[in-house]
Amino acid sequence: MSYIPEPVNREEIKSVKVLTPRLQRLKKEWEDAEPQVYVDDTLLFTQSWKETEGLPVDIRWAKALEKRLDECPIILRDGELLAGSLTKFVRGNGTLCAMKPHEILQMVESGRFDRKTSDISSTKIDPADLEALRQDALYWIENMPKVSTVNASVAFEMGEDTFDLLFDRGMVFEGRGVRYKMDRGLFQNYSAYGGGVAQVSDKCIKYGLNYVIDLCRKERERMIAEGDNENSHGSAQFIRKFWLLKACIISCEAFIRYAKRYADLARSQAEHCADPVRKAELLRIAAACERCPAEPPRDFFEAVQAVRLYHLVCWKESSDRPEVPIGRLDQILYPYYIADKKAGKVTAQEAAELLGALWLKIRECENLVTIPREQRAAPGSLLPNITLCGVDENGVELTNEVSWLILEAMAQMKLSEPAIYIRWSEKTPHDFIIHALECNVEFGGGNPAFLNDRLGTERYLERGVPLYDACDWCASGCLGYHLSCMEHLGGGHNISQLKVLELALNDGFDPRTKKQLGPHTGDVRTFTSIDQILEAYYKQLDYFVPKLMMFKTISLATEITDGPMSGLRVAMQFDTAIKAGLTPKEGGAKYPEGRTSWLGSRGMVDLADTIAAIKKLVFDDKKCTMAELMDACANNWEGREDLRELCLSAPKYGNDDDYVDEIYDELSTRVPEIMTSRIDPITGKKPMLFIGAAAGHVGIGRAIGALPNGRKAGTPTCDAACSAMPGMDVNGPTALINSATRGDYAREFVGYALNMKFSKSVLNTPEKLDNLASLIKAFMLRNGWHVQFNIHSRAELLDAQKHPEKHKNLLVRVGGYSAYFIDLPRELQAEIVQRSMHDEV
Amino acid sequence: MEGTIFNIQRYSLDDGPGTRTTIFVKGCPLACLWCSNPESQDPRPQVAYRYTSCKACGSCVAACPKKAAALDAEGVHIDRAACDRCGDCVKACAHGALRWSGEVKTVEQVMKTVMRDKVYYQTSGGGVTCSGGEILMQPDFVAEIFRRCRAEGIHTCADTCGYGSEEAMRKIMEHSDLVYFDIKHMDPEKHREYTGADNGIIFKNLAVALEMGVPAVIRVPLIPEYNSDEENLSALADYVKSLGPGIGHVSLLPYHSYGSNKYRMIDKCYQLEGLRKLLPEEEQRAREIIESRGLRCVVSK
């Protein structure tokens, strides 16, 4: 990344209008369009699969992509600045029946199609398409494997009882690879994270796919001429590599032809276009698509167009869970931008509009979901994460003019995606941080998020990655991050700490499945100190961790070798994957241990609060007995609201309260020790830990009964890695940060995110934003990892009026005066709700 | 050393530069009609009632040995004259509706909280503010907190209405890096009418602060119909201008009634019920008047 960014013209940036009349119209068209089910891709995929029977799976997967790219309908809408539409509809949602035929059939039969975003479903589908989709799903039900290799292998090695720990049963373990009898299609064990997610590849853009194709060809020729004992010893590995490189060539060539189809389309539209301005735009698209991705972009426009097509094609290829991170977009685009700007070929305004157009095209990507809603980790997100800024290996901070423009695009387009992550460092320009916070307010909160640049790089250095690579990382998944196209982006296997605790409190017996899931660790009713409870808990955890590791080893390794072998993903990491003859997920990445070795831990905050409440009420203050508490929990507090009130008023994490924070600290030391006490057999190294927090809290909460922290049975657990129990952090933001960064937790756990919430009154003057910037700085200096700022929504304020007990921390500030929202008289509450409504408009 | 406080607010953004911890001491010699923290006026801890949490169970009524608590359709009322502040009702309330407002704390205890946010003061150029109530009523306590803060390199800001003894003023100013000084009205009669006291002492104390070299920010609550008129503001602007370069800026706090419900919490009556809001043009005009004297003016939002 070695370069020094040119000075930024802030005034020019701040005056850009991203939402030009053209983009306003396109955005409105998209917003107004009714989602419609799109079937062409799945039909083409199935057709290709029939045509390629008997060929190696790598080739079949590549041919299926090729068929879709060659034959799917392509669209370039009136006024569009960039080519590359996911479907032929303004808001089309596609899927591949091959991946989840039962679920698709169910949707067909109910006439209700779930989409990947939030809780909207779509029902619009052409009758002929509906029938075609039904036939397609039926074909796959008939032709897919009948038994999941993962489930069969797990049962074979670990026994049928193991499934009691999984989804829908005890749910001690949770995560993408940890499902029991899911509807899986062609690749029974394939999930995006097991299979991995493709990333928009900065190096492919930079070199062009012709270069990659040439490398593959030469490597194949070399293998034939010289053999390949050095890299792929043995016949199986040799032929695997031989086919995989072919698959890579097929995929790249198909991608190039796909772009050229857009070039042809744009040219033919230009021929019939009377408006000279539009004609020029169309010819510009044609020239860009003719050139990229085959060759490197020549200018800013071609670079943006290339990013669009890379994201789209990776999306199509990922199929099942196409959560394609875009990576360090400001760094990818900057060289083209600054060269054009110096040559007078582009203005900030033109660039901003183009980025706005890119935003719309990225947001347009939606799929029908193939995972039941309640099992989804991130129900509202498509995760096309974009990462900005960062310090390079020479210590140069890389915030540039494109970083600024991207913030503007985000703030002004006001689309729920993509999410922006800023790599915060002490060198990040202060006014850029302020601008990011202003954009956050304009956007309505939650975007962008801030990641600790130093910590991100240090964590890679600690794993032995050299500095020049360690500093080239970006955000991915819901709360993960990875080295740009140098790692495989896999998922984690999580353990639900609260379930383990529930088992510890019940002598290993699970009230949900009514089975003895864990070892006998004693009847807590007879315990005389909190240490006995902690010991019981640690014993339970220590019992389950090796089981989780074995489960992970079998399921993940089976997923990896059973999933599609993507040639496209070889291309994305061509510098190492070609030579290795392996996809990134199999070890073809530059840093192959990558994200395959995560162990996730969920529910740490609830865990600490629960232990604190027991310690305080039973052992310190003796307000109740352990038996009383256990009985009340067993009855979900029925008839014991008084005891629940006591539990809720016990010290809670998030308040800078030593009583509970010391417990949290101890747990955050002991839990990682236990979880990393055995190596990960796949990497031979200590497993990496992940705070599995993003949105799985709803799912795991459902499996857990009432607990002494005052929570009721089945309710969600805390919502992010280190956020407090909802409404319980009443000492303000500095106290919450102090609790969250008391120890070096973020170094131990990946994904350690803090969601902070503010009312608009804390964000409405430049001085207050300055203060927020200082808060971020303090958070980072205390080794915090990830922080983002949400703004209380009107819905929340309305809920606070109805359920004041859930919103004790909702602070309203007005010129030197502050009060808790729930204490305000109703009329004033109404006024604030009214104002928030105004703010949202 | 001990003092009575009614709140410590961390991440305080309006009481001085940067991120601050504001210590609100309890007890105020004034009783401004518009006071938004009426629970700060009484110098001793008192029982406050949060009606949104009340389940009307009556356990407080049963618990009160003085028969001072009564329950009707509007919730709990406490006869404050009869109440001897024993706190039995607070103990009896299972829902947190009755709570203590105000507690006695040592300087040590206050400093423990203050020190927890030192890094935030450093990154933001913030520090500690003592506010009230009225700090001049607890000068030794406040001075000691400030002395300790300064020893830790923490910036100190005194927020005062200026009504107190000169000795108290000097004690606190000796350890203050900045003073936020309230002026409610220029006219002595009106000042007495609205706040219960003369403003002569206040002006004298402001002079003391400036003489001791403590930079001052003048804070003016802008109350429509009471002090936001042209005449008062012009007099105020002229007066502040005459004080010379020791004045940082004038901070205007437009009236709001968010504190009105707090009166009910301590069984007091809010006298400005129904008072209109400040109009945007009035706010604008007030700013113009201040700025016309070459003074910097900040309106709190």
Segment holding A188, helix H or strand E: none
Partner-chain contact A816 B219, CB within 8 Å: yes
pLDDT at position A31: 84
Domain boundary among B101, B127, B142: B101
Query: Which of A526, A548, A591, A839 has the alpha carbon at shortest distance from A680?
Result: A548
Burial degree of A245 (CB within 10 A; 0-12, 13-18, 19+):
buried
**Do A807 and A827 contact (CB within 8 A), yes or no?**
no
Partner-chain contact B258 A764, CB within 8 Å: no
> What is d(CA A119, CA B278) in angstroms, rounded to the nearest whole number?
43
> What is d(CA B215, CA B181) in angstroms, rounded to the nearest whole number?
10
Closest residue in A to B95 (Cα–Cα): A645
**Do A386 and A326 contact (CB within 8 A), yes or no?**
yes
CA distance A819 to chain B (A): 8
Closest residue in A to B300 (Cα–Cα): A815
Q: What is this structure's pTM?
A: 0.90
Of B12, B94, B258, the CB nearest to A645: B94
Of A734, A815, A822, the CB nearest to B11: A734
CA distance B216 to chain A (A): 17
Q: Token digits for A330?
A: 């400001």
A689 by DSSP, 3-state: which? strand
Domain boundary among B101, B118, B146: B101
> What is d(CA A139, CA A49) in angstroms, rounded to the nearest whole number?
11
Partner-chain contact A818 B9, CB within 8 Å: yes
What is the interface size between A and B, counted as CB pairs within 8 Å? 100
A813 contacts in chain B (CB < 8 Å): 13-14
> What is d(CA B9, CA B46) in angstroms, rounded to the nearest whole number?
19
Partner-chain contact A816 B14, CB within 8 Å: yes
Q: Token digits for A772?
A: 């927020």
Query: What does A109-141 look like in DSSP terms, one character per residue?
Result: HHT-EEBSSTT-EE-B--HHHHHHHHHHHHHHH
Segment holding A732, helix H or strand E: none
A656 contacts in chain B (CB < 8 Å): 116
For residue B68, give its domain range. 46-101
Shared domain check, B248 and B132: yes
CA distance A403 to chain B (A): 24
Vertex B146 angle, CA B144 and B148, to 5°:
70
Partner-chain contact A781 B258, CB within 8 Å: no
CA distance A771 to chain B (A): 6
Shared domain check, B226 and B91: no
Of B12, B123, B301, the CB nearest to A778: B123
B51 close to A (CB below 8 A) = no
Vertex A59 angle, CA A56 and A61, to 5°:
110
Q: Looking at residue A824, what DSSP letter applies?
A: S
CA distance A441 to chain B (A): 16
Lowest mean pLDDT among A377-391, B98-112, B194-208, B224-238: A377-391
Of B18, B50, B116, the CB nearest to A656: B116
Q: Token digits for A548?
A: 């989780």
Shared domain check, B182 and B171: yes
Partner-chain contact B301 A732, CB within 8 Å: no
B109 close to A (CB below 8 A) = no
Could you report the per-residue pLDDT of A131-188, keeping only the tens digit for each? 999 999 999 988 887 777 777 888 899 988 888 887 667 777 765 555 545 455 555 5
- pLDDT beneath 70: ranges in chain A: 1, 114-123, 167-168, 174-197, 319-322, 369-382, 490-491, 559-565, 594-597, 692-696, 719-720, 809, 811-819, 823, 825, 827, 834-841
Task: Name every residue whose Cβ is closer than 8 Å to that of residue A258 and which is 6 or more positions away in sequence.
Answer: A69, A70, A74, A309, A313
Q: What is the CATH number of the domain that holds B71?
A: 3.30.70.20
Residue ranges of the alpha helices (H) in A347-429? 348-364, 401-413
Q: Are strands B127-131 and B155-160 parallel, antiparallel or unpaired?
A: parallel
Shared domain check, B87 and B216: no
Shared domain check, B109 and B90: no
> What is d(CA A463, CA A459) in angstroms, rounded to the nearest whole number?
7
**Do A768 and B298 contact (CB within 8 A), yes or no?**
no
**Number of compact structural domains in chain B:** 2
Where are chain A's structural domains?
A: 792-841
Shared domain check, B108 and B96: no
> What is d(CA A579, CA A570) in angstroms, rounded to the nearest whole number?
10
Partner-chain contact A762 B301, CB within 8 Å: no
Cα dihedral A596, A598, A599, A603, rounded to 10, equals -130
Omega of the bond leading into B17 within 30 degrees of 0 (cis): no
Cα dihedral B187, B188, B192, B194, rounded to 10, equals 10
**Do B78 and B267 contact (CB within 8 A), yes or no?**
yes
Identity of the amino acid at A362: I
Place of tokens 């003369």: B198
CA distance B301 to chain A (A): 5
Q: Token digits for A614?
A: 């027991």
Vertex A652 angle, CA A646 and A653, to 5°:
165
Query: Which of A489, A432, A415 has the alpha carbon at shortest distance from A198?
Result: A489
Partner-chain contact B10 A824, CB within 8 Å: no
Query: Which of B134, B123, B117 has the alpha carbon at shortest distance from B180?
Result: B134
Sheet with A598-602, strands from edge to edge, namely: A173-175, A493-496, A598-602, A688-690, A749-750
- The per-residue pLDDT of chain B, averaged, comes to 94
pLDDT at position A414: 86
Shared domain check, B7 and B84: no
Segment holding B219, helix H or strand E: strand B216-222
Answer yes or no: is pLDDT of B179 > 50.
yes
A292 CA to centre of own chain = 28
Neighbours of B266 (CB within 10 A): 17
Partner-chain contact A649 B96, CB within 8 Å: yes
Shared domain check, B58 and B35: no
Cβ burial B39-76 (10 Å sphere, 16+ → b, else e): bbbbbebbbbbbebbbeeeebbbebbeeebbebeeebb
> What is d(CA B256, CA B260) in angstroms, rounded to the nearest whole number?
9
**Do B106 and B143 contact (CB within 8 A), yes or no?**
no
Of B11, B122, B261, the CB nearest to A825: B261
Shared domain check, B95 and B140: no
B13 contacts in chain A (CB < 8 Å): 762, 767-768, 771, 813
pLDDT at position A559: 66
> What is d(CA A641, CA A219) in angstroms, rounded to the nearest whole number?
71
> What is d(CA A806, CA A645) in angstroms, rounded to the nearest whole number?
12
Vertex A149 angle, CA A143 and A155, to 5°:
135
pLDDT at position A320: 62
**Do B58 and B89 contact (CB within 8 A), yes or no?**
no
Sheet with B216-222, strands from edge to edge, namely: B103-106, B2-12, B20-25, B127-131, B155-160, B178-182, B216-222, B247-254, B297-299
> What is d(CA A178, CA A377) in angstroms, rounded to the nearest whole number?
12
Q: What is the CATH number of the domain that holds B25?
A: 3.20.20.70
Shared domain check, B113 and B97: no
Mutation pick from B15, B39, B119, B250 vs chain A, by most beta carbons of A within 10 Å, is B119
Partner-chain contact B119 A781, CB within 8 Å: yes
Neighbours of A444 (CB within 10 A): 16
Shared domain check, B65 and B156: no
> What is d(CA A95, CA A413) in angstroms, rounded to the nearest whole number?
27
Could you report the per-residue pLDDT of A47-91, keeping only the tens digit for each? 999 999 999 988 999 999 999 999 999 999 999 999 999 899 998
> What is d(CA A453, CA B42) in angstroms, rounded to the nearest whole number?
50
**Do B156 and B146 contact (CB within 8 A), yes or no?**
yes
B184 contacts in chain A (CB < 8 Å): none
Shared domain check, B211 and B149: yes
Domain boundary among B78, B101, B124: B101
Cα dihedral B179, B183, B186, B189, rounded to 10, equals -120
